[in-house]
Amino acid sequence: MLNQTLHDQQKQDREKFSRLIIQSTARNKIIIAGPGTGKSFTFKKFLETKSGESLAITFIKNLAYDLQKDLYGLAESHTFHGYCKKLLHHISVDGIDTSFNYFPKLPLLIDSDSAFIGVNLEKFEEAFHTLTEDERVIFYLERGNYYNAVSHSDAVYRVLKYFQADLDSLPTFCQIVVDEYQDFNPLEVAFIDELAKTSPILIVGDDDQALYEKLKKASPKQIRLKAKDQNFKKFELPYCSRCTQAVVDAVHDVINKAKSLNKLQDRVDKKYFCFLPDKEVDSIKFPKIIYANCSTHTRKAPYISKFIEKEISTIPQEDIDNARKNGFPCVLIAGPSYYTKQIYGHLKTRFTNINYPEEKNKEVDIFDGYRFLMKDKESNLGWRIIIECSDIKQKAKIIKEAHKNAEKLCVKIESDFKTFNLAIVAILEKIKVGKQTTETETSDVINSCGCTLKEIQKMLGVKDGEELESEEANEDTTVSIKITTINGSKGLSANYVFLVGMNNTCLNGAKLAGFPYDQNNPTDNEICQFIVGMTRTRKKCYLISNSRFGIVYNIRKSIFIDWINSSRIDSIIVNADYFKRISIQS
């Protein structure tokens, strides 16, 4: 039975929290808001009261895209590096011109340069993230200038230095809104502080969702400091319109247990309620979190994959249609890649609408070199990438001498090597404009790029007839499935969420890292990952462990599952007997 009185009270209360933010005359504001509490909705209502140009910044691509859709016409929305890249195309910065090359893997090249040139520096990105302005930053920027190129963090740093050198260069906005502040590092914090000198700032974040300390030297202490800053007026958004009551209650269980173990110290206390006007029906339908203890997961007995397949097959069409209509996946599967790869391998033969980004090549790719040479045959960056990816002799000598004499790389390369690679560039140019290539040319370009002709065409933006037909085909109305890591799930949500790899760390036989890694001492980051993973859920949440994985036996469930009150969990044993029973029932 729906409680209309409680619904009305919650609606009035939520409206009050939003109204306080929208009507506040404070120049600088901070909102402490848990997952699913309507940040984008509040941004929109807040910006509708403003006249003039506004800017929205986050650092996650998914979130920047969502903000762009939600705030269309109200603010320009960017990731940090996307905004800085845009600025660098219009401002005069020493060392690079406005037609610079954007190359995310530039740090890898410069790390290699360091060894070849003999300066033996490392951890360049860490220097930028932490604003440690030592010889690493100097060397990196010099090499970036030589290549006329930027990556992510150095782009932000270059713009920051430009602003700090000339206060008059700072842009002025009617309003700036900043999302996911708990995952900002010192470089990004300094950048926002600089923008705040000329524009009012609204910061939003949640220190219970801080994930990126290892990846980018971010720290939740930044948002905790801002929450105490007298120059900022603090607000809350306490009502979650995404998660069911079971998930919201589980979040409280996890936080309370963590605090009892002296974890999440100095966290910002915040209210977090299930918004029943939106979620009571789902909360009644899905009153508990499902814990599935799979007896094994091997290639011959992929019980995790089979269990997930079985659960997906029971999802009502209305939930599938609802997800498609609202632009989010119906199913989200998150966990370590050694699980998700096998799950994807199983599900892709059963379902057609799966988004599983294959692991990107983290190394420098020769195709990027050819791509830059297609724009400029003498590009230092293009030739440097090709040298890095080739078996050319005397790499160190070429790079060291070019550095010493400030020469272009193309003048230091042997003519045969240069001629061959320029021929590959010419073939790629033919493919790009749709010209026919000979069998020999096709073979040469495939061998040089290390990928198929279809992959080359895709990277060049060339669409074949099959792809054009598929674009014109009807939209896939089957269940949409997204597979990723927990960190990769940030900014996402789904009706049905499966968190896999919910095990302890097993050292019996082969080493298998658990979640958390040390059951006796989980880190704050791991606790936050668990909270983030669960709160992607709109309807039903599954926590999945397994007793065996390949040759590793005697795996136990994650201690995190025991942190949740048992009354909120339905436990299932998934073994051979389980599949026999459901086979008989069907």
- Pick the last residue of a domain from 469, 488, 517: 469
Q: How far is CA 82 from CA 153, 364, 381, in A?
A: 11, 21, 21
- At residue 508, does pLDDT exceed 60? no
Indicate if 308 and 394 belong to the same structural domain.
Answer: no
| Mean pLDDT for the stretch of residues 136-165 | 97
Is 240 within the bounds of a domain?
no
Which two tokens mark 280?
């009571």
Instruction: Please tell me the distance from the alpha carbon of residue 212 to that of residue 202, in angstroms, as a whole number.
Output: 21
Domain count, the chain: 4
Indicate if 461 and 485 belong to the same structural domain.
Answer: no
**Which stretches of 438-586 are assigned E, i.e. beta strand?**
481-484, 494-499, 537-546, 569-574
Of residues 473 and 98, more confidently modeled: 98
pLDDT score for 468: 45
- Is the Cβ–Cβ distance between 370 and 428 less than 8 Å? yes
- Residue 344: give the domain boundaries: 287-353+476-585
- At residue 1, does pLDDT exceed 80? no
Indicate if 431 and 553 belong to the same structural domain.
Answer: no
Is 91 within the bounds of a domain?
no
Of residues 447 and 72, more confidently modeled: 447
Q: How far is CA 67 from CA 57, 77, 353, in A?
A: 9, 6, 25
Indicate if 542 and 578 belong to the same structural domain.
Answer: yes
- Pick the last residue of a domain from 434, 450, 469: 469
Q: With cut-offs at 50, 70 and 90, classify the pLDDT of residue 268.
A: very high
Given CA atoms 127, 132, 133, 134 in this order, what sign does their dihedral have?
negative
> Helices marked H in 450-558 — which ranges?
453-459, 465-472, 524-534
- Is the Cβ–Cβ distance between 329 and 482 less than 8 Å? yes
Q: Return the CATH number at 303.
A: 3.40.50.300
Per-residue pLDDT of 497-506, as tens digits, reads: 999 999 987 6
Largest CA distance in the chain: 82
Per-residue pLDDT of 11-61, as tens digits, reads: 999 999 999 999 999 999 999 999 999 988 899 999 999 989 999 998 877
Indicate if 72 and 187 belong to the same structural domain.
Answer: yes
Instruction: Please tell me the distance from the alpha carbon of residue 515 to that of residue 504, in angstroms, as a whole number.
Output: 6
Is 504 within the bounds of a domain?
yes
| Mean pLDDT for the stretch of residues 394-419 | 94
Is 268 within the bounds of a domain?
no
Indicate if 449 and 481 belong to the same structural domain.
Answer: no
pLDDT score for 511: 55
Percentage, residues of the chain above pLDDT 70: 95
Indicate if 501 and 395 belong to the same structural domain.
Answer: no
- Is the omega angle on the peptide bond into residue 516 within 30 degrees of 0, that is, cis? yes
| Mean pLDDT for the stretch of residues 515-532 | 93
Is 230 within the bounds of a domain?
yes
Instruction: Please tell me the distance from the alpha carbon of residue 90 to that of residue 321, in angstroms, as a whole number.
Output: 44
Instruction: Please tell me the distance from the alpha carbon of residue 291 to that of residue 262, in angstroms, as a whole number.
Output: 26
Of residues 351 and 549, more confidently modeled: 351
Indicate if 378 and 293 belong to the same structural domain.
Answer: no
The residues, ordered by sequence, that sit 6+ positions from 17 with a Cβ below 8 Å of its Cβ are: 235, 236, 237, 238, 239
| Locus of tokens 């009050």 | 16
Inter-axis angle of helices 439-449 and 366-375, nearest 10: 120
Per-residue pLDDT of 282-321, as tens digits, reads: 999 999 999 999 988 777 779 999 999 999 999 999 999 9
Indicate if 195 and 343 belong to the same structural domain.
Answer: no
Instruction: Please tell me the distance from the alpha carbon of residue 436 to that of residue 453, in angstroms, as a whole number.
Output: 12
Indicate if 60 and 35 belong to the same structural domain.
Answer: yes
Is 263 within the bounds of a domain?
no
Indicate if 378 and 492 belong to the same structural domain.
Answer: no
| Locus of tokens 């001629």 | 419
Per-residue pLDDT of 334-391, as tens digits, reads: 999 989 999 999 999 999 999 998 666 678 999 999 999 999 999 999 999 999 999 9
**Tally of CB atoms within 10 A around 347:** 21
Is 251 within the bounds of a domain?
no
- Pick the last residue of a domain from 235, 268, 297: 235
Q: How far is CA 340 from CA 352, 363, 371, 531, 537, in A?
A: 16, 22, 32, 19, 18
Residue by residue, DSSP assigns 149-196 as EE-SHHHHHHHHHHHHH-GGGS---SEEEE--GGG--HHHHHHHHHHT
Indicate if 184 and 49 belong to the same structural domain.
Answer: yes
| Locus of tokens 């198929």 | 452
Is 241 within the bounds of a domain?
no
